[in-house]
Structure 1
């Protein structure tokens, strides 16, 4: 693997983020969802309007993992009112760590997670939190390995299907 570089993403990266988002979400979750639910979710979640609004939100931050000229994953973190649920001023939400399937097991997800941790520390946050599908044991193990513990659950809709996400938190050293 070539050297991996993580860069800040901006509006100029809209199509790259959409492509990675659609591809990785489908790779990871298509088998556990109907085609109609996946289609609806991908269209709504990665529309031009939605991703543009997310990129323009002053409390959301995107980072792209590059291998040479190839975008292979991305991270989205939220603070303040951009957080999807808790909206705690002292917390940073990891909303997405998406890595193309061909790069699983190559530490790309770990490097993106470490970028989230760096952002949290620079912003003096006391914890990181996220939601992860209860039927995604690989991701749950990844977060547990990085010190996250489950503290609650919430519903997450994929199309018209309501699914359960585990809410996980990592307390950061003061």
Structure 2
């Protein structure tokens, strides 16, 4: 039996933009395009997950992007937006976990949980009391994962693109205490 390569976690750097864009696109399509790709979904991918989007994100001081890397290849990412609020999140200082994406072949190995732990620490270190996120109601894996990690379902919201509405759940967790953990 072969021992799996270790997975390292680190802040993303500008040179990661190309791989971040492709990894983000791959995970998004694996999750949200079970029936194939239509024009509105294709536009959403290009607008939200392109290399240019990640180049801009990496230059934004309000964003923290962390990556999981195995044998020199990106296998996961998290993206935290400092100071982001949502009507269902009542914390005085909150940050949003905009993305937590793990390459399908690396799920079940603790990559998502470790990226989430690092994201929580990053949010708390920047002054957030709470880290919140939205998860599509059709993503059963996410709807089970976040409560197991201590997140509370605080209500529903809608994500819209291409003239279609997609019901999402909003999850939140107090993270102030994890900054030094």
User: Quick check: TM above 0.5?
Assistant: yes
Contact 2:21–2:50 (CA<8 Å) still a contact in 1? Answer: yes
Q: Give yes or no for the alignment of 1:45 onto 2:48.
A: yes
Aligned to 1:146: 149
Residues 73 and 168 of structure 1, relative CA distance in 2, 3 Å threshold: same
Deviation, structure 1 residue 51: 2.5
Taking structure 1 as the reference length, the TM-score comes to: 0.88
Deviation, structure 1 residue 173: 5.9
Deviation, structure 1 residue 11: 2.1
Deviation, structure 1 residue 164: 1.3
Aligned to 2:168: 165
CA deviation vs aligned residue, 1:96-140 (integer Å, no higher than 9, x gap): 010011111111101100111211332342111000001111101
Taking structure 2 as the reference length, the TM-score comes to: 0.85
Moved over 3 A (4+): 84-89
Unmatched 5+ stretches in structure 1: none
Contact 1:39–1:159 (CA<8 Å) still a contact in 2? Answer: no
Q: Give yes or no for the alignment of 1:113 onto 2:116.
A: yes
Aligned to 2:135: 132
Unmatched 5+ stretches in structure 2: none
Aligned to 1:73: 76
Coordinate RMSD, CA, aligned:
2.1
Contact 1:79–1:89 (CA<8 Å) still a contact in 2? Answer: no
Residues 166 and 33 of structure 1, relative CA distance in 2, 3 Å threshold: farther
Deviation, structure 1 residue 34: 4.7
1:9-20 equivalent positions in 2, closer than 5 A:
9-20=12-23
Say how many residue pairs are matched. 172
Residues 84 and 19 of structure 1, relative CA distance in 2, 3 Å threshold: farther
